[in-house]
Amino acid sequence: MQKAQKTYHIWTIGCQMNKAESERLAGFFEQAGYNHSSDLDEIDLIVLNSCVVRQSAESRVTNKIHSLRHLKKERPELTIAVTGCYVDSDIESLKKKHPHVNHFFKPGEYPYWLEQPGWEKTLHGSTGPATYVPITQGCNNFCSYCIVPYRRGRERSRPVDDIVNEVIELVNHSTREITLLGQNVDSYGQDLPGKPDLAELLKELNSIDGLLRLRFLTNHPKDMSDTLIDAISSLEKVCEQVNLPVQAGDNEILRLMRREYTVEHYRRLIERIRSKIPDIALSTDVIVGFPSESEEQFRNTFDLLADIRFDTVHVAAYSPREGTIAARDLEDNVPAIEKKRRLYMVEELQKEIAAGINAEFLGKTVEILVEGRKKGKWQGRTRSDKLVFFRDTENHLGKLVNIRIEKTSPWSLQGKTMKVNNLNGEE
Ligand code: SF4
């Protein structure tokens, strides 16, 4: 019996960039007449959107590719495609290594073999009230521990008009909050004619009717400008939230990481941000156990985190990534058990700080955009990106709701409905 419609499935691992790209690919496949399905026995097209930022992620990708060999043997008509950071410039050797894969296409490219005209204008797949929109691909920095520039290539920015049109379409399909994505959003536009910057892009997007909130990540401390800080403080749809990865609180370690700023520069930048946007929520990324990191150098990082008191800290223990400068030139000489101890210390410190910051919300009313349901509760986020849960029998999806906070933890807030605002956020 002939199937009525072709089906696709996308398997995604990795960062928000990958998740955003998978959404866009889903939109493309749907426009090309495919339906989403998870039934592997029936599926016509499987796409693996891969990540290789860590060795463990790369192993998951190769295991998954291998595991599809049997399926391809049973059903030769199945199309298997691989995209994401696993696809580097040497596609020919990937084809030799995995002959059962039909197509390899680079991150940010589109499934060229389908030859669907007009794919550039394709909407995301099933989008919710809050979604991601990539504004750049690749990165021009070469932080010594990072594989991204080798896999994703040099930075390419999408033209302002392209992004504006996509956001308008998303808003027409009920999206209310957009997070702009790039490896380094602060260098957005430097490769475009007229060199528009992120502040200019935000200004354009801020004027789109029906859009309620704008966020962006990731910032780079060496590139974040005062113009951008001014834009965050003056544009009403831009949320009071900045992700500014510090990675280490010690100048020698920062030098070895090739981050191109000092701890003093970073602290001054945080001061400027806080003086212009007093209610800003700050998040950061930290690597502990970088090659040669002494106890004293780790303490410098720990003290910086204790001083600044970030809302969120993403901490990782260093592990060498083959193909990077650090893996080639620096000995991974901090013992695993010591890395674990440092990681634990940062996690415990941050738990205490986040518990304190969140406790201040107790008894206050916050406005959240409701993004979905989990375990019988509605969930949404404040402008400062705090995760909030509440129970209610009404359907609040995509609405702005005022919630009075009754319980807090380091990770989230809980409360009850006070008021539901209309879609444009007017009371
Ligand atoms: S800024 Fe550094 S860490 Fe971030 S993607 Fe570029 S090279 Fe990697």
For the chain, the structural domain boundaries read 7-114, 127-239, 273-359, 365-421
Higher pLDDT, 1 or 18: 18
Whole-number Cα distances in Å, 138 to 31, 102, 244: 27, 25, 18
Place of tokens 């260093």: 318
What average pLDDT score do residues 22-26 get? 84
If one residue of 17, 18, 139 were mutated to test the ligand 1 pocket, choosing by the most ligand atoms within 8 A of its CB, it would be 139
CB 223: neighbour CB atoms within 10 A?
18
**Does residue 360 register a pLDDT over 60?**
yes
What average pLDDT score do residues 305-317 get? 96
If one residue of 51, 137, 148 were mutated to test the ligand 1 pocket, choosing by the most ligand atoms within 8 A of its CB, it would be 148
Q: Contact, 294 vs 120, CB < 8 A?
A: no
Considering only CA atoms, which residue is closest to atom 8 of ligand 1? 146
**Does residue 118 register a pLDDT over 60?**
no
Distance CA 222, CA 199 (A): 16
Ligand 1 atom at minimum distance from 139 CA: 6
Tokens of 161: 């008009």
Q: Are strands 177-181 and 213-217 parallel, antiparallel or unpaired?
A: parallel
Ligand 1 atom at minimum distance from 146 CA: 8
Residue 27: its pLDDT value, please? 79
Residue 424: its pLDDT value, please? 46
**Does residue 124 register a pLDDT over 80?**
no
What is the CATH class of 127-239?
alpha beta
Q: Report whether residue 85 contacts ligand 1, using a CB cutoff of 6 Å.
A: no
Tokens of 77: 């008509």
> ω into residue 417 within 30 of 0, thus cis?
no
Residue 115: its pLDDT value, please? 62
Q: Report whether residue 139 contacts ligand 1, using a CB cutoff of 6 Å.
A: yes
Considering only CA atoms, which residue is closest to atom 2 of ligand 1? 143
Instruction: Give the predicted TM-score (pTM) of the model.
Output: 0.86
Determine the distance separating the centroid of ligand 1 and the alpha carbon of 146, expressed in angstroms. Answer: 6
Residue 16 neighbours by CB under 8 Å, 6+ apart: 132, 179, 181, 217
**Does residue 310 register a pLDDT over 80?**
yes
Handedness of CA 149, 321, 312, 275 (dihedral sign): negative
Residue 116: its pLDDT value, please? 58
Under CATH, which architecture does the 365-421 domain have? Answer: Beta Barrel (2.40)
Q: Report whether residue 148 contacts ligand 1, using a CB cutoff of 6 Å.
A: yes
**Kind and range of the H or E element at 217?**
strand 213-217
Residue 4: its pLDDT value, please? 61
**Does residue 119 register a pLDDT over 70?**
no
**Does residue 271 register a pLDDT over 60?**
yes
Determine the distance separating the centroid of ligand 1 and the alpha carbon of 132, expressed in angstroms. Answer: 19
**Does residue 136 register a pLDDT over 60?**
yes
The per-residue pLDDT for range 193-231, each reduced to its tens digit, is 999 999 999 999 999 999 999 999 999 999 999 999 999
Q: Where does the pLDDT of residue 188 fall: very low under 50, low under 70, confident under 90, or very high at 90 and above?
A: very high
CATH annotation of 7-114: 3.40.50.12160
Whole-number Cα distances in Å, 354 to 329, 341, 351, 359: 36, 20, 5, 8
CATH annotation of 273-359: 3.30.750.200
Lowest mean pLDDT among 35-39, 77-81, 217-221: 35-39
Cβ burial of 276 (10 Å; 0-12, 13-18, 19+) is: middle
Distance CA 59, CA 310 (A): 33
Q: Where does the pLDDT of residue 163 fall: very low under 50, low under 70, confident under 90, or very high at 90 and above?
A: very high
Higher pLDDT, 407 or 127: 407
**Does residue 121 register a pLDDT over 70?**
no
Q: What is the mean pLDDT of the chain?
A: 90
Ligand 1 atom at minimum distance from 258 CA: 2
Considering only CA atoms, which residue is closest to atom 1 of ligand 1? 141
What average pLDDT score do residues 282-305 get? 97
**Does residue 427 register a pLDDT over 50?**
no
Determine the distance separating the centroid of ligand 1 and the alpha carbon of 140, expressed in angstroms. Answer: 8
Handedness of CA 367, 369, 371, 372 (dihedral sign): positive
**Does residue 423 register a pLDDT over 60?**
no
Q: Are domains 127-239 and 365-421 of this chain identical in fold?
A: no
Q: Report whether residue 219 contacts ligand 1, using a CB cutoff of 6 Å.
A: no
The per-residue pLDDT for range 372-401, each reduced to its tens digit, is 988 889 999 999 999 999 999 899 999 999
Q: Where does the pLDDT of residue 321 fall: very low under 50, low under 70, confident under 90, or very high at 90 and above?
A: confident
Task: Report the share of the chain in percent with pLDDT over 90.
Answer: 65
Q: Where does the pLDDT of residue 425 fall: very low under 50, low under 70, confident under 90, or very high at 90 and above?
A: very low
Determine the distance separating the centroid of ligand 1 and the alpha carbon of 164, expressed in angstroms. Answer: 26
Ligand 1 atom at minimum distance from 142 CA: 7
What average pLDDT score do residues 341-357 get? 97
Residue 1: its pLDDT value, please? 45
If one residue of 183, 190, 290 were mutated to test the ligand 1 pocket, choosing by the most ligand atoms within 8 A of its CB, it would be 183
Q: Report whether residue 183 contacts ligand 1, using a CB cutoff of 6 Å.
A: yes
Determine the distance separating the centroid of ligand 1 and the alpha carbon of 326, expressed in angstroms. Answer: 13
Place of tokens 């834009």: 231
